[in-house]
A and B are shown apart, each in its own frame.
Chain A
């Protein structure tokens, strides 16, 4: 395993050492946070400390941070149970936003940015209050969405805004007050925290109904015994991520170097390159080589990359993100996502581009010449 180069940090990233310590320590503390005895109170303190750290990291109020089991659950919580509201969702959202309720689509431009033009008219046409859901940064392209512009327009027509910040958090500044959103989704395992914990953060005054009912945990908004070690790790990871943002920003140099090299080899530009992007993500097509073939070839060379997002199916589907951006099928079916993380080094980039080149020369060229041949006939 040691020699495998992991470049799939947007799927999940290794838990940072101090986070692992926080998780391990919390696993050694016995108690249910709802119990009133000493151990119960000790566990309660662990949870509230973590909640404070997350609130500070996104500039929200601690009592408005609701812990969930995942970003998916937080997104569902934000969008479900909103009876009577019209919902508008950008075309490039994560399935846990897109698949939840009937909605109108906010289209994106060729760079994958949600189109702000016409949104105001669309909102004014609606006879009901509306909820707009736009992600902070896209998980496949890394493109940063014009959330503040959307908030401004939404507010002027009285609409609420939910923002899935799962991929943005830890990779760029996330300030809930500055963004002006009403609801914000976070996930621990994308920022070096443990899998199995997320949060929905609410602006003051925003009300929401629970998805999971039972005990009175999380201000009655999310029943179930709290995942204490997970929450402890999430708190530590959030504090670290906020502190290490400048360090993370340095990945831009490595990512740019990678993209320049690919451009030099094959004249290929990353999807969304002309938009603002988070610094670690590069979504690249290799002409003539399917994403499946590429990921297999990279795997044989000990490099872990992914064809779009890591979800359930195992079946290879063309990316809805690229489709929304108007990328032709040939491009979309040969797109592979490279996402760097806190463990990525200069040598890793050199290794990746050299393997990319050899796969391209071996498979890309062949297919091209075969096609040229076919066209010549």
Chain B
């Protein structure tokens, strides 16, 4: 904890977190949007920098030391990432991010096995890129079953079991939801899929580096992960692709045949190296960090209670990543709420959709009305969040929401 605080101070001075200014005040905004993206850990930045300048080689250059140096670093990072999820290094395929990984997993599987099986099972609260890809496949003749989660945002393995048919190719269920933070019963669903001979893909963009994951224990065949949600750099992610039993994919694009033919294109060595370092750090700090987040979560809620505001927590609190809260304030206009909050960087829903002011489909999938979904905020905290920031944020949100609730009466 002490080390983390020190790191935070470091970061503020050398990386200008304090430069972030909210539109309405000159004070630095409190960053509460850790599910949209996390700050790059300064230790990650440090290991990346040499690979831009003196160690700049193309990792696929096989004829000289610049290439070997870059390639060795890429392989070390691959091993680090594989280690964190119980995989073999050669089961890791680097991509540009979790969106690409999700596209590659779902489309790639459909492209390879689509002639034999054409039914997919997923959940209404999955990330947009999984749902959009499924919709595209529906237009190509696939059948997709969308499970509705319960009012706490969870599904059960039985929900999946009921839907599995002879022609079911894939079950795709995310580990941690990006909006409401709930953790789905991945191990149970994995065991079921293995027993039924159905491929199991899990979008672990929000779970990687945050909660323990093990592809063997959880029987996961394909796992999407991202660096920038886990204090690594933007622009890099990976897809875990099981080798035994073998999972085969049709690549999204062709070219030089890098990444065992599954993903062509020059691997960005600095980003891969940063991803590896982020994984190494995550393995080290995951346990103490989660304990700290639980305290921050409680601190936020107890401070909010003190303001006397009326609120609901969206999503199960027991099966939840502790760096997330999602709150609804009944009787409050969502847009007014967001506009009235000063000095806070947070999101009203998933970042991808927040440019268009639409009520969150995730919140609607767990039964919230349009109005209540619109009157919701996502609060994400993480490695560089401080106690006093959490208290200040809870007071601001609580008092503003209460004022609006009273004004509406």
Binding site for B on A (CB under 8 A): 1, 4, 6, 8, 11-15, 17, 19-20, 23-25, 27-32, 34-42, 68-73, 75-77, 80, 94-96, 99-100, 187, 189, 194-197, 211-217, 223-230, 295-296, 298-299, 303-307, 309-314
Contact = CB atoms under 8 A, between A and B. Distances in A.
Given A31-B36, A312-B257, A215 B99 contact: yes
A34 B64 contact: no
A37 B347 contact: yes
Q: Name B's interface SS.
A: loop
Interface residues of B, number: 87
Contacts of B252: 76, 211-212
A39 B347 CA distance: 11
Given A14-B56, A95-B254, A216-B352, 12 more contacts: A6-B66, A15-B56, A27-B233, A32-B37, A34-B355, A39-B29, A96-B264, A195-B266, A212-B100, A216-B355, A224-B129, A225-B226
Contact of A31 (B23, B345, B350): B345
Nearest to A97: B255
B346 interface: yes
B233 A229 contact: yes
A145 B379 CA distance: 54
Contacts of B253: 72-73, 75-77, 80, 96, 100, 211
Contacts of A306: 61, 63-64
A40 B65 contact: no
A17 B16 CA distance: 20
A225 B36 CA distance: 9
B23 A96 contact: no
Contacts of B37: 30-32, 225
Interface stretch (B46-54, B188-196, B362-370): B46-54
A72 B266 contact: yes
Given A39-B31, A312-B257, A195 B269 contact: yes
Nearest to A4: B65
Interface string B97-123: 111101100000000000000000000
Interface string B20-46: 111100000101010011111000010
B53 A212 contact: no
B58 A11 contact: yes
B128 interface: yes
Interface in B339-390: 344-347, 350-356
A37 B344 contact: yes
B67 A35 contact: no
15 contacts: A28-B45, A30-B17, A31-B33, A32-B33, A32-B36, A80-B253, A96-B253, A194-B270, A214-B99, A216-B356, A230-B268, A295-B64, A304-B57, A304-B66, A312-B60
Given A29-B19, A38-B22, A94-B255, A15 B264 contact: no
A314 B266 contact: no
B213 to A, nearest CB: 21
A213 B234 contact: no
A30 B133 CA distance: 28
A36 B61 CA distance: 41
A311 B132 contact: no
B254 A100 contact: yes
Contacts of A299: 63-65
Interface in B69-95: 69, 95
Contacts, number: 300
Contacts of A189: 58, 266, 268
A12 B345 contact: no
Given A12-B57, A15-B56, A312 B353 contact: no
A194 B57 CA distance: 11
Nearest to B255: A96
B201 interface: no
B96 interface: yes
B256 interface: yes
B136 interface: yes
Contacts of B303: none
Contacts of A37: 22, 29, 33, 344-347
B257 to A, nearest CB: 4
A230 B234 contact: yes
B111 to A, nearest CB: 12
Contacts of B133: 213-214
A310 B67 contact: yes
A39 B271 contact: no
A337 B10 CA distance: 45
A311 B102 CA distance: 25
A8 B252 CA distance: 28
A38 B356 contact: no
Contact of A225 (B60, B103, B228): B228
A199 B114 CA distance: 31
A62 to B, nearest CB: 18
Nearest to B55: A1
Contact of A96 (B29, B102, B256): B256
A142 to B, nearest CB: 17
Contact of B257 (A94, A214, A230, A313): A313
Contact of B351 (A29, A35, A94, A313): A35
